[in-house]
């Protein structure tokens, strides 16, 4: 039996587990996040940490750069291997990134997020035009 | 005004030095209470239209991802068969490494041979130089020994007429027989004025000295002497 440290002690059957997972591992420093897209072992073996990384498969910089871009790097060949051959579990943020890159279809969450963003921008625009109109009316009056 | 953190509660505000808020719930070692029957999940609220949309989108997405998994597997298999898979790459790299190592080894061998030849030459040169130096040193030594031997021989020769305890008696008698007179004067023209050879054994008592006996030059300078002058 394998003991899992961390939360409640639970026994994991080694014969049944073995599905690795691809997720974002946060590196960087305070107020400066930077994610490495890594392959971790089974989720039951404890929460993901730097020592348990099997392989690094990409990077993701969440802060936009000078051209207002968020840079993502992906090792497509290795990702295909892990997803196709080894049947890994992929976390939702990584699924979104893969969808945006074109390897997989767009994740449902991306659509929801896009719609929310659109509504937010529209609301902002409406508010700004309303304020401009109010200011113009106040100036005219 | 002091801004309290978001998780501020009565518990936090009443804490003294330990400002960290405690973890939620009981410590993990304790079992759950009898009242708790099962673990209740509290999902966050979503808008109803999002829930409907997500449902059909999720079904389509999962279906697509499952098919894509199979597609990737087929791709990898095709690559493996074509000879461009990971294993083939690994073998290729190993072969390349072996080739590079062999080339490096060959280069090392050539350099080793060249270095050996060069070193042999230099060794021979140094050997010659060393031998020459040794020869020079030996010659110097020989000359020095010869010189010192000659000096010693000269000293020995000089000491032939030394006065020793053995020839003391005879040397004294000899000296008395043939005494050397150092008492002479010499003037600018080169004329030597010598005292007459003294007698060995005084006869009678010598006269009392009157005047400066050694002053022979006080006499008149004769013309005959002028011929014998030597310019000094």
Residues B75-120 pLDDT 10s = 999 999 998 888 899 999 999 999 999 999 999 999 999 999 999 9
User: pLDDT tens, B142-158?
Assistant: 999 999 999 999 999 98
Number of H helices, E strands in chain B: 5, 2
- What is the CB-side half-sphere exposure of residue A127 using CA atoms within 13 A? 6
Instruction: Decide if B50 touches A, using CB distance below 8 A.
Output: yes
pLDDT bucket at B224, cuts 50 / 70 / 90: low
Selected residues 132-191 of chain B with any CB under 8 Å from a CB in chain A: none
Q: What is the pLDDT of residue B165?
A: 92
Structure-model confidence comparison of residues B161 and A94, the more confident one: A94
Q: Do residue A85 and residue B76 have CB atoms under 8 angstroms apart? A: yes
Q: Do residue A84 and residue B72 have CB atoms under 8 angstroms apart? A: yes
Q: Do residue A81 and residue B76 have CB atoms under 8 angstroms apart? A: yes
Q: Do residue B72 and residue A104 have CB atoms under 8 angstroms apart? A: no
Instruction: Decide if B62 touches A, using CB distance below 8 A.
Output: no
Rg, chain A, Cα only: 22
Selected residues 64-103 of chain B with any CB under 8 Å from a CB in chain A: 64-65, 68-76, 86
Query: What secondary structure letter does DSSP report for A52?
Result: G
Give the list of residues 6+ apart from residue A35 with CB closer than 8 angstroms, or none: A24, A25, A26, A27, A59, A60, A61, A62
Distance between CA atoms of residues B228 and B189, nearest Å: 7
Q: Tell me phi and psi for residue B90, to 5 degrees.
A: -60, -45
Structure-model confidence comparison of residues A102 and B203, the more confident one: A102
pLDDT bucket at B225, cuts 50 / 70 / 90: low
Option in A104, A111, A112 nearest B65 (CB): A104
């Amino acid at each position: 039996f394998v003991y899992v440290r961390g939360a409640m002690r639970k026994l994991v059957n080694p014969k049944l587990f073995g599905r690795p997972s691809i997720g974002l591992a946060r590196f960087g420093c305070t107020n400066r996040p930077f994610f490495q897209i890594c392959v971790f072992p089974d989720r039951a073996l404890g929460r993901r940490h730097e020592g348990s990384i099997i392989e690094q498969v990409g990077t993701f910089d969440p802060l936009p750069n000078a051209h207002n871009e968020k840079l993502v790097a992906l090792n497509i060949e290795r990702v295909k291997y892990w997803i196709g051959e080894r049947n890994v579990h992929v976390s939702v943020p990584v699924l979104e990134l893969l969808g945006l890159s074109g390897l997989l279809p767009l994740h449902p969450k991306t659509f929801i997020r896009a719609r929310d963003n659109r509504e937010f921008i529209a609301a902002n625009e409406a508010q700004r035009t309303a304020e401009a109109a109010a200011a113009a009316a106040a100036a005219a009056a | 005004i002091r801004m309290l953190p978001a998780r501020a509660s009565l518990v936090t505000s009443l804490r003294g030095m330990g400002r960290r808020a405690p973890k939620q719930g009981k410590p993990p070692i304790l079992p759950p209470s009898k009242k708790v029957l099962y673990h209740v999940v509290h999902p966050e609220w979503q808008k109803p239209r999002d829930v409907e949309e997500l449902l059909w989108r999720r079904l389509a997405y999962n279906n697509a991802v499952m098919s894509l998994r199979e597609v990737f597997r087929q791709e990898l298999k095709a690559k493996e068969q074509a000879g461009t898979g990971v294993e083939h790459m690994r073998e290729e790299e190993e072969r390349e490494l072996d080739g590079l190592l062999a080339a490096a080894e060959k280069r090392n061998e050539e350099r080793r041979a060249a270095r050996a030849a060069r070193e042999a030459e230099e060794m021979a040169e140094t050997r010659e130089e060393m031998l020459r130096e040794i020869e020079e040193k030996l010659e110097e030594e020989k000359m020095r020994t010869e010189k010192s031997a000659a000096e010693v021989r000269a000293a020995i020769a000089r000491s032939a007429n030394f006065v020793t305890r053995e020839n003391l008696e005879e040397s004294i008698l000899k000296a008395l027989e043939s005494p050397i007179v150092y008492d002479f004067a010499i003037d600018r023209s080169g004329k030597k004025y010598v005292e007459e050879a003294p007698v060995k054994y005084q006869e009678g008592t010598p006269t009392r000295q009157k005047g400066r006996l050694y002053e022979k030059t006080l006499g008149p300078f004769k013309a005959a002497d002028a011929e014998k002058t030597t310019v000094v």
